[in-house]
Structure 1
Amino acid sequence: MNIRYARENEKSSIKEIWNYCFNDGPKFMEYYFKNKYSRGNTVVVNDQDDIVSSLQLNQYKIRLNNKVYDTSYVVGVSTFPQVRGMGYMKNIMDFTLRELYNRGQLVSILMPIDYRLYRKYGYEHCYDQLEYEINIDDLKKFKIIGKIKKVDDSNVYNLIDIQESFLKDVNGNIARDEKYYRNLFEEIKSEEGHIYIHESEGYIIYFLQDDKMFVREIFYKNIDSLKSMLKFIYNHNTQCRKVIITAPINDKIRFVLDNPKTCKIRLKPFMMGRIINFKEYINTLIIDTKVNNSVNVLIKDDFIEENNGVFEIMIKNGLVSAKKVKSNHDISFDINIITQLAFSYINIEEACILNNINENNINDNIIKVFSAIFTKKDNYINEYV
């Protein structure tokens, strides 16, 4: 077994594994391997001259706690059935985590099929979405103010402006630029989806699936734009009976519905994250606090040795730093809990509950330091590949 990056002549073998493991149509496959695939970001397992397992590290910039980080989005984790259960996944993940550390990346993201598969590698749940299921007829009352039209290339900067306004209060989202949206146009087209814009105030990405509409994104600057796009959804009432809408957990749709009780709203787990380099991540943070103190935390990471050990975390004049020390620890967490704290998905009180630590047994200084550094926020991300 040889684990390495893909070679130039192995693209067809990687497409074969992807096609076997995932239920993607030929148009999406053509789009993905033309626009997203990079052999330099593809890790493979070669066994007796055959590629039997692979994953891909799609590159993004992520906005996390008021900083922008280069990140690898782990996608396409796939193995042929004849070698499943032989430990290939553990080895490929071990190789990948070491590579991400060596690349100098501090965080990584992953959309799991099954959370249990990836928790053991230090990835942990860090993102939720709201999912609405609404009867189309319940949107009849709204009115369209202004014009809604199909998006074209001239609207790229309008979309950037809309999403920056809509996502200003969420954490952990992907930085989207002109290249991102031009690529997104091709992705949605490959899946036979649609993108429409309402004036320069909102946009909607959706797919028609039998008698349902699936709305992947509905971003808006104001409530009038939201209501106009909800009416636009209603205008499909001869084609669809229901609409499924995914949205950030701080979304406002539920506040404008005529009768929310006829709508199903659920919290949908969406994405996992992972801290790749704890020390350097902490050293990037600048916070607004009057706290000036330090805490020693013991971290356990089974895959990245540099994250193992006792770290002194210090706050001094709003700057945060971490260094390994040979000392006793005040509190201990595994890398999964540390990841959720670092992604601002949980706070220190919740971390203690998850770690079976009695908060009453923790001194106030630990709570103050962790609360100052790791502030819980509304996380949102909506990338699929």
Structure 2
Amino acid sequence: MVKEEVIRLWRICFQDSEDFIRFYFDKKYREENTLTLSENGQIVSALQMLPYQMTWNGNLIPVSYISGASTLPEARKKGYMSQLLSKAFGVMKNQKIAFSILIPQEDYLYDYYAKTGYVPVFGYTPENYYLPVKYTHKQVEILSSQKCFSSLPELYCYFNRQMLKRPNCVQHTAEDFKIILEDLYLSGGHLILFRHISGEIGGLAFLQPLPDKLHISELLADSEDEKSALLNTVADQWNKSEIELKTPPRSGHTIRRGMARMIDTLQVLGIYAQTHPHRTILLQLTDEIVPSNSGFYRLKNGSVFRTDSEIQRPDLQLDIRELTQMVFNYPAFISLMLD
């Protein structure tokens, strides 16, 4: 019953195809990860909290991705989504989730989510290629869906190994990888493979052909040589010269892509202290939505502990947004989220 009502809400609030809606609610939706609010016996607001892991400061940490956050048009501006997010943070805190993460679907929503403690920490650097002279590399293969899914263990092994090399990057399980590929082929996309003469995989590209250009939502390769082979082959096979690609953020040109909010402050500050062992800080933190996070924290000799002492003047007085921003000393990366 709840699932059907959430599907109805999704149809009203989002412009997704029926094929995608059926796919999402079959593959990703779980009632235990869903929070709702009702008005007059009808669900008017809902969100899902999807579990992921993320590389951060040399660790693999648990994060919760907010998906499908929606409110019926006639029920908006009543604070329902703020209530749901507040409840979600409590659930996440009990689950020892380090950060809540999300991707705002519209630019104005960055300001909305900022009010609940999120800050824009995810970004990407766009790469646009124009390849008037194209060629098909003999070691590149356009995988059929059948061959792709029969090779899942090998493909995921390479994918996972390359993803784990990225700092500050949201990761995907083997089950999630399969769902990503199912969505890719369902939407008319293709997985492109580079294989070395030795037989080992050397690169993967997640391709989505568009009417006027080619879009690659993710590309992983051993080096620039394998990357070039993948790009030139797709340009040649689809007879298009323009390719757009979103890559992990680099200094100089980064476009914001998503937001994070700290949830489990002791876990996060414990990792931060370990990676900054020479920093000694007395921090006073304010978190109006998760009051249990508020208080004094001392970072010293690679450890963190809470203290009730207010005798000493704190070195830093931060709110939860400022602290989240502080611990992300360079932009994070998020991709392949079915968004």
TM range (shorter): 0.7 to 0.9
Identity in percent: 20
Match of 2:175 in 1: 179
**Please, what is the CA RMSD of the aligned residues?**
2.3
Aligned residues: 325
- AA aligned to 1:303 is I
Match of 1:221 in 2: 222
Q: Shift of the alpha carbon at 1:45?
A: 0.8
- How far apart, in 2, do the equivalents of 1:274 and 1:24 lie? 27
Superimposed CA distance per residue, residues 43-95 of structure 1 (whole angstroms, 9 cap, x where no aligned partner) = 11111110111111111122222222222100111011111111112211111
- AA aligned to 2:188 is E
- How far apart, in 2, do the equivalents of 1:215 and 1:117 lie? 30
Q: How do residues 229-268 of structure 1 correspond to structure 2 at under 5 angstroms?
A: 229-236=230-237, 238=239, 240=240, 242-250=242-250, 267-268=254-255
Match of 1:295 in 2: 281
- AA aligned to 1:192 is G
Q: How do residues 37-52 of structure 1 correspond to structure 2 at under 5 angstroms?
A: 37-52=29-44
Q: Shift of the alpha carbon at 1:119?
A: 0.6
Q: Shift of the alpha carbon at 1:163?
A: 3.1
Superimposed CA distance per residue, residues 287-340 of structure 1 (whole angstroms, 9 cap, x where no aligned partner) = 36662x6311121212110221222122x2xx3213133223112122112112
- How far apart, in 1, do the equivalents of 2:36 and 2:277 lie? 48
Q: Shift of the alpha carbon at 1:169?
A: 4.6
Match of 1:160 in 2: 156
TM-score (norm: length of structure 1): 0.78
State whether residues 311 and 323 of structure 1, in contact with CA within 8 Å, keep that contact through their aligned partners in structure 2. Answer: yes
- AA aligned to 1:210 is P
Per the alignment, do residues 201 and 66 of structure 1 end up closer, same or farther by CA in structure 2, a change over 3 Å counting? Answer: same
Q: Does 1:63 align with 2:55?
A: yes
Q: Does 1:336 align with 2:318?
A: no
Superimposed CA distance per residue, residues 124-162 of structure 1 (whole angstroms, 9 cap, x where no aligned partner) = 11111111233342xx25662523230512432343343
2:304 pairs with one of 314, 321, 326: 321
Q: Shift of the alpha carbon at 1:15?
A: 0.7
- How far apart, in 2, do the equivalents of 1:147 and 1:133 lie? 21
Per the alignment, do residues 277 and 178 of structure 1 end up closer, same or farther by CA in structure 2, a change over 3 Å counting? Answer: closer
Per the alignment, do residues 142 and 322 of structure 1 end up closer, same or farther by CA in structure 2, a change over 3 Å counting? Answer: farther
- AA aligned to 1:309 is G
State whether residues 204 and 217 of structure 1, in contact with CA within 8 Å, keep that contact through their aligned partners in structure 2. Answer: yes
Q: How do residues 186-205 of structure 1 correspond to structure 2 at under 5 angstroms?
A: 186-199=182-195, 200-205=201-206
- How far apart, in 2, do the equivalents of 1:290 and 1:102 lie? 28
- AA aligned to 2:17 is G
Q: How do residues 104-123 of structure 1 correspond to structure 2 at under 5 angstroms?
A: 104-113=96-105, 114-123=109-118
- How far apart, in 2, do the equivalents of 1:126 and 1:20 lie? 30
What secondary structure does 2:254 align onto? strand
State whether residues 134 and 236 of structure 2, in contact with CA within 8 Å, keep that contact through their aligned partners in structure 1. Answer: no
- AA aligned to 1:320 is S
What secondary structure does 1:144 align onto? coil
1:270 pairs with one of 242, 245, 257: 257
Match of 1:259 in 2: none
Q: Does 1:382 align with 2:335?
A: yes
Q: How do residues 339-350 of structure 1 correspond to structure 2 at under 5 angstroms?
A: 339-342=324-327, 344=328, 346=329
Unaligned runs of 5+ in 1: 1-8, 252-264, 347-375
- AA aligned to 1:176 is H
- How far apart, in 2, do the equivalents of 1:68 and 1:237 lie? 38
Q: Shift of the alpha carbon at 1:168?
A: 5.0
> Where do 4+ consecutive residues of structure 1 move more than 4 Å?
none
What secondary structure does 1:382 align onto? coil
2:295 pairs with one of 305, 309, 323: 309
Per the alignment, do residues 326 and 93 of structure 1 end up closer, same or farther by CA in structure 2, a change over 3 Å counting? Answer: same
- How far apart, in 2, do the equivalents of 1:326 and 1:22 lie? 49
- AA aligned to 1:85 is K
State whether residues 145 and 224 of structure 1, in contact with CA within 8 Å, keep that contact through their aligned partners in structure 2. Answer: no
- How far apart, in 2, do the equivalents of 1:90 and 1:214 lie? 35
State whether residues 122 and 257 of structure 2, in contact with CA within 8 Å, keep that contact through their aligned partners in structure 1. Answer: yes
TM-score (norm: length of structure 2): 0.88
Superimposed CA distance per residue, residues 266-302 of structure 1 (whole angstroms, 9 cap, x where no aligned partner) = 53211111110212322345736662x6311121212
State whether residues 71 and 109 of structure 1, in contact with CA within 8 Å, keep that contact through their aligned partners in structure 2. Answer: yes
Match of 1:368 in 2: none
What secondary structure does 1:152 align onto? helix
What secondary structure does 1:201 align onto? strand
Unaligned runs of 5+ in 2: 196-200
